[in-house]
Amino acid sequence: IRIISIFKRDSIQPLHCLFCCVDHLSDTTPATVLVHSDHFDFPYGTTDVMCQIPHNCSATHVTLVPDTMRPTNPTWLPLRNKKIIEKNKRFEFNFTVCISTLFGGYNNVLQFAQTLEIYRLLGVGRVVVYNNSGGPELSRLLHSYSQEGLVELVQWPIHNYLNPSHGWHASEFSGDLQYYGQVTTLNECIYRSMERSRYVLLNDIDEIIMPYQHDSLTSLMDTLQPQHPNTGVFIIQVIIYPKKTAEESNKGYVDAWKQVPGFNILQRIYWEDRNKDQYHPHKMLVQPSFVEQTSIHQVLKAFGESYKIPEKMCHIVHSVTNHPIERPLEELHLDKRLWDFKDRVIPRVTEMLRRAGLLSSEEEADRIN
C-alpha cells in the first residue's frame, strides 16, 4: 500500500504500518518512505509511504506508528484502489479536473463559473477543488456547485500544520512547502479518481484544455486513444490569452455580470506567440491508473507511453491574471473558439450566479432570461 504524505525531507524517522484486518489487528510491517523528486528545494516534500500488507490479513484500514508498539489513539486511513482496472471498464466519469490548492483569498468568480460550465460542455463530470482559502463570493459559488454535484470540495487547511509557500521554488520564495502543497494534492486527486474516472486533467482554474478539431474532450479522446493504445499520459501545450481591450473583445461583454468579482474569459480572444528562448511548461491529461507519481508539468513515475497532442488539435487556453507586458494588437492572433460555447454558457453561468446570490438584483437575472 501507498500512503500519500508530506515529510520534512531531512528527518524521516523509521516507521511501521499497522493494519486493521477484517477480524483482527495485524502485526506491524516496516515502512519505506519514497521522497518525490520534485520538491523545488523546499524543506518539506511529497512522499509515498510504502508498506507490505501482512499475510492472512484482509486489510481495510492502515495507520502509521513510529515503532512496533500499538498506538493508543490511532488515525485509521481506509484502503482504496484495491480493484484492478479492467481494460473496457465503464467509469462514473469520463473526465475529472483536479484544481490544486485554492489559496490567498482567490475570488475570480466570473472566470471560475465560466470555466466550470465550459468544462461541463466538454465532457467533464467532476471538478475536484482543494480549498485552502477562497474569497467570500467564490466560496458561495463553490458551495452551490458542490450541492449541484459538478464540484467536489476537499478542505485543505495546510497552514494549520506548516508554513506553506506562496511560490514555486525555494530559491525565490520562503516557506516549508511549494505552493500550498500543490504536488501532494495532484497526487491525491489522481488516486482519488482512479476507480471512477477514465481520464484526469491536471490544470489550473485559469486554464481550459480545449479541443479545436472535436466538439468535446470525449470525441477527442475517442479518436486519439485508439491511435495510441499504450499511452496513459497526454501532454498539452499552454497558450497565453492576455487581457486585451479591443473592439472585438468588447463583444464578449455580458452586462448582467458587471457587479460580479473577477473577469469575463469571453473577452480573452487574442493569444500571443511563445518566446522561443523561454521554457514553456505543459500540462497533462492522464489515465490515472497509468500514473504512479506526478508533478505539475510532467509525471515522475508512470506506466506506458506519453504523447504530445499537436497544438492545432488541442491546446490550453490560459486566461492569465497577471501579465507584465501588454502587446500591440498586430502582435496578437485572434481566436474566438470560446465563443462557440457562448450561447450555452451565458445562461448557465447567470443561473449559477443567481443561485449563489451573487447577482445584484433579481431584475438583472430576469432581464437576460
Residue ranges in contact with ligand NAG by CB under 6 A: 55-56, 93-94, 125, 131, 133-134, 139, 142-143, 153, 157, 218, 222
Measure Cα distances from 124 to 198, 217, 314 in Å: 11, 8, 16
- Work out how close the CB of 179 gets to ligand NAG at its nearest, in angstroms, rounded to a whole number: 16
142 or 314: CB nearest ligand NAG: 142
User: Least distance in Å: CB of 116 to ligand NAG?
Assistant: 13
Dihedral angle, C-alpha 151, 197, 124, 293, nearest 10 °: 80
CB of 120 to ligand NAG, least distance (A): 11
Q: How far is the CB of 284 from ligand NAG (least distance, A)?
A: 20
Q: How far is the CB of 160 from ligand NAG (least distance, A)?
A: 9
Give me the helices (H) in 17-66, please: none
CA torsion 277-313-102-303 (nearest 10°) is -90
Q: Is-contact 179 170, C-beta < 8 A?
A: no
Question: Quick one: 40 or 106, whose CB is closer to ligand NAG?
Answer: 106
Beta bridge partners of 17: 29, 64
Q: In the complex, what is the shortest distance from the CB of residue 290 to ligand NAG, in angstroms, rounded to a whole number?
A: 18
Closer to ligand NAG by Cβ: residue 94 or 115: 94
Nearer to ligand NAG by C-beta: 140 or 297?
Answer: 140
Mention every residue, 6+ apart, whose C-beta is less than 8 A from residue 339. Answer: 252, 266, 269
Which of 94, 91, 102, 155 is CA-nearest to residue 119?
A: 94
Contacts of residue 308, defined as CB under 8 A and 6 or more positions apart, other chains included, come to 234, 235, 236, 237, 282
Residue with smaller CB distance to ligand NAG, 81 or 133: 133
The H or E element that residue 368 is part of is helix 362-368
Min. distance of Cβ 51 from ligand NAG in angstroms?
Answer: 16
Q: Residue 174 and residue 162: Cα distance in Å, rounded?
A: 12
Q: Which three cell numbers stand for residue 106?
A: 482567490
Nearest distance from residue 305's CB to ligand NAG, in Å?
A: 21
All three cell numbers of 365: 437575472
Helices (H) and strands (E) in the chain, counts: 7, 19
Of 129 and 284, CB closest to ligand NAG: 129
**Beta carbon of residue 218, minimum distance to ligand NAG (angstroms, whole number):** 5
Distance between CA atoms of 250 and 55, rounded to whole angstroms? 66
Distance CA 216, CA 232 (A): 19
Residue 300 CB contacts under 8 Å (≥ 6 apart), including other chains: 36, 37, 38, 292, 293, 294
Q: Which is nearer to ligand NAG, 9 or 143 (CB)?
A: 143
Q: Among residues 9 and 354, whose Cβ is nearest to ligand NAG?
A: 354
Q: Which is nearer to ligand NAG, 79 or 153 (CB)?
A: 153
Judged by beta carbon, residue 97 or residue 346, the one nearer ligand NAG is 97
- Supply the minimum distance, in Å, between the C-beta of residue 2 and ligand NAG: 22
Are 238 and 282 contacting, i.e. CB atoms less than 8 angstroms apart? yes
